[in-house]
Amino acid sequence: MALKGFAGFVIGKISAAVLTIFAIVCFNFVLFRLVPGDPARLLFGDPRAGPKRIAEMRELFGLTGSLWEQFVAYLRQLFLHGDLGFSFVHRVPVMEVIVDKVPQTILLIVTGLIIAVVLGTMLGAIAGWKTGTKFDSIIITVSLGFYSIPAFITGIILMMIFSFGLGLFPIGGMTTMGSAYTGWAYVGDVAWHMALPAGAIVIWYIGEYVILTRSAMQDVLGQDYITLARAKGIKESAILRRHALRNAILPVVTITGINLAFAVAGVIEAETVFRWPGVGRLLYESVMSRDYPVLQGLFLIFAVAIVLANLGVDLIYGYIDPRIKVGGGQ
């Protein structure tokens, strides 16, 4: 690498991300042309459509000319106009359909993630601190279970208990139907609707944080400075807070970006179960209505979001970790 130090590191990471995004864009184009049969018919979705209608659809969905011409047109539309095509179900540009749903998903994913990170690292730290005890083995078994059971299953179980059984929470949606709440009443209504989908997401994420913090904690506890602190006669609770936890948390928090693919899967499942009006639910509805332009756009958005999140984590990590700043490059 020509440039040394942090600037070189940043430029390297950004250009790698740009290349990856370009590769994803190309992959996305190819993917939707692997469809057996005529993509125009598939995109249109109606097998009885006449030839004139199909020709119009070709025009609308950028399916005229050779494959290469289509590819160039697709790139031009995407990069110059931010155009992802046209949804034939919603009858508006795909970009509009998707942008409409993004804030709700971000709200859900961020809420779930924060609760999971805070609770998970706390429980994991305690389990790591008490390695080998009954508490530790219960926590680790439950975490493994939470971590592996699909979010849609957890969601349905939560729904059965808290909506059908106890009647505490609504079974879906984001606001009460026909309500016209404003201000805090609106916030409260949304929070009430979000409790169960967010709960399903917390359960889906939390296991991983518990398991990771626990093993990071075990590593830290074997270090010399912990032994030294103990030798100095510092209270155990102070060692836990000031020395062990602080050092154990850093590697755990940095995996948040890397595991966004995992997070995306949880959100899609939870939104589908609870009819939460975000991009995950949109993905499900687009599958049901075979709205291929929206599917294509959503896949691109998910993939690019993950690349950008990883880039962000890489840059922050590079900024925090002095070895990268000095060494440059790797």
Partner 1 sequence: MSGLLKGLQGVGKFLKLLLTSSMGRVGIVIFAIFAFIAIFAPYLHTVDPIKFGLPGNQLLPPNTEFWFGTDRLGRDIWSQTLYGTRVALIVGFTAAATTVSIGTLVGLIAGYFGGKLEEVLMRIVDFFLMLPYLPLMIVLAAILGPSIWNIVLVISITYWPFTARVIRSQVLSIKERTFVEASRSVGASDRLLIFSEIMPNVVPLMFAEAVLMVTWAIYAEAVLSFLGLGDPTTVSWGWIVNRAFNSGVIRDFLWWVIPPITCIAATILAFTFLGTAVSDIMKPGYREARGL
* Residues lying near partner 1 in the complex (CB under 8 A): 20, 23-24, 27, 31-32, 34-36, 141, 144-145, 147-150, 152-153, 156-157, 160, 164, 171, 260-261, 264-265, 268-269, 272-273, 283-284, 287-288, 290, 292, 295-296, 298-299, 302-303, 306-307, 310
Cβ proximity to partner 1, 51 vs 167, nearer residue: 167
Cβ proximity to partner 1, 37 vs 178, nearer residue: 37
Tokens at 144, concatenated = 């493994």
Tokens at 74, concatenated = 């697709």
Q: How far is the CB of 24 from partner 1 (least distance, A)?
A: 7
Whole-number Å distance between alpha carbons of 26 and 31: 9
Cβ proximity to partner 1, 200 vs 240, nearer residue: 200
Q: How far is the CB of 211 from partner 1 (least distance, A)?
A: 10
Half-sphere exposure for 76 (CA within 13 Å, toward CB):
7
Q: How far is the CB of 110 from partner 1 (least distance, A)?
A: 17
Q: How far is the CB of 292 from partner 1 (least distance, A)?
A: 8
Q: How far is the CB of 294 from partner 1 (least distance, A)?
A: 11
Whole-number Å distance between alpha carbons of 173 and 94: 22
H/E stretch holding 213 reads: helix 183-221
Is 47 within 8 Å of 54 (Cβ atoms)?
no
Cβ proximity to partner 1, 231 vs 288, nearer residue: 288
Is 285 within 8 Å of 222 (Cβ atoms)?
no
Distances, alpha carbon 165 to alpha carbons 196, 198, 252, in Å: 13, 19, 36
Cβ proximity to partner 1, 126 vs 298, nearer residue: 298
**3 state DSSP class of 292:** helix
Partners of residue 298 on adjacent β-strands: none
